[in-house]
Amino acid sequence: MILKRPGQELENLTPATMSRLLFDDIPYLPAAQEEHDYFAATLRENGTKVLYLDDLVVEALQQTPIKEKFAQQMLREAGIQEEKVLAVLTGYLINMETQEMVALLMKGIRKIEVAEHLGAQFQAEEIDHPFLMEPLPNLYFTRDPAAAIGSGVALNSMTFATRKRESLFMEYVLKYHPRFQAQGVSLWHQRERGERIEGGDQLVLNEHVMAIGISQRTAQETVEKLAQQLFAGSSYDTVIGVKIPHNHAMMHLDTVFTMINYDQFTVHPLILNDGQIDLWIMHPGPEGQVLSEHRTDLLQVLKEVLHQSELDLIPTGDGDPLVAAREQWNDGTNTLALAPGEVVTYDRNYVSNELLRKHGVKVHEIRSSELSRGRGGPRCMSMPIVREDS
Ligand SMILES: NC(=[NH2+])NCCC[C@H](N)C(=O)O
């Protein structure tokens, strides 16, 4: 499982920038780190190997030409185009220890910090536009920039500017880290294709079936293209595209729906909408095309594609609309399944957690005062790279 411990990038959030950077508040970093360490310890205690994104990136950038290429691409993608500025900043970056450079690329570069190197005066601008390269505070949601599906990976194209560079870290890890490089991982989606899709919408239900959200972050056409790639090159033969409301509280499918067991799911009552939502079942056609059928009843569709006669859909907040809204906002629906029937959740969602237990689910609660301010839960904060059959 790949995680990212919250770091200095969170210290670069301000009231003026936070909504653009997709935060609703500024977490208190030392407490967020403690909470995150507790999350990592919970995973390890339960048999999951934890790798950290920054370590993987540092290990991938061992050779100087790759380090330089990476620094340059990061700068370009952050919008720095002027060749002279690029050259000076690339020099500034690659002279650092790789670890320090990676931390800085995540934290963002303030104008004031490099003014001297560039021979520029930024003081006046610094207040409203402090960054030459903006911070990446959403990095601790490792679920989103890439998704391992079967024997391959989708390197996602993120919707908002503040998250676009995140998948570049994963691209370098896949291409240059010895652990992945050697394996010749198939790419189901390439980030530079630019068609929007994010990992919070990509739910692997088993070795044949995926559910993909059509959401604020994932376009319907991208879902079809991904389905086509998967049908052509993997064991997947069924993709269900599920349309969800486009808003910040429910930016991804996994904020309203997660899999817990072969026949158990968390679900926010709103997305069932009494069997009246837009969803599509996709299967491979005889000539490599994607055949798509429009449906409206998620429960019925899930039963069909998973070959289950009954399913246990566990409603966030135990069906009380007020509790459901409150607990969904703090990621009460966003469970991380460690094994069938065993999940990690935020402790603050006590109504939903109690209900999960009543349904026989084993629940590991983690602390969540600060981590939840970024609008993501345990599933969002983890990127599985190996899944075992159990
Ligand atoms: N898989 C998820 N639901 N991730 C949550 C991401 C939250 C993040 N602040 C964003 O808006 O992008």
DSSP state, 135?
-
Contact partners, residue 225, CB within 8 Å, separation at least 6: 189, 195
Told to judge if 380 belongs to the known catalytic residues of this protein, a careful annotator would answer yes
Domains 54-133 and 199-372 share a fold: no
Position in ligand 1 atom list of the atom nearest CA 331: 3
* Calpha distance 256→217 (Å, rounded): 14
Contact 359, 299 (CB under 8 A): no
Confidence of residue 274 (pLDDT cuts 50, 70, 90): confident
Q: Which CATH number fits domain 199-372: 3.30.450.20, 3.75.10.10, 3.90.120.10, 3.30.70.20?
A: 3.75.10.10
CA–centroid distance, residue 91 to ligand 1 (Å): 33
Which CATH architecture group holds 54-133?
Orthogonal Bundle (1.10)
pLDDT score, position 390: 57
Q: What does the pLDDT read at residue 122?
A: 66
Instruction: Determine which residue's CA is closest to atom 11 belonging to ligand 1.
Output: 22
Model confidence at 317, pLDDT cuts 50, 70, 90, reads very high
Task: State residue 342's pLDDT score.
Answer: 97
pLDDT tens digits, residue range 256-267?
999 999 999 999
If you average pLDDT over every residue of the chain, what do you get? 94
H or E segment to which residue 315 belongs = strand 312-315
Closest ligand 1 atom to the C-alpha of 201?
Answer: 1
* Of 43, 173, 250, 380, catalytic: 380
Overall average pLDDT of the 169-178 stretch: 94
| Interface predicted TM-score (ipTM) of this complex, two decimals | 0.98
Q: What is the pLDDT of residues 97-128, one digit of tens each?
A: 999 999 999 999 999 888 888 887 666 566 66
Domain boundaries, the chain: 54-133, 199-372
pLDDT at position 330:
96
Residue 105 burial (C-beta neighbours within 10 Å; 0-12, 13-18, 19+)? buried
DSSP helix/strand/coil, 338: strand
Q: What is the pTM (predicted TM-score) of this model? A: 0.96
Position 68 confidence tier, pLDDT thresholds 50, 70, 90:
very high
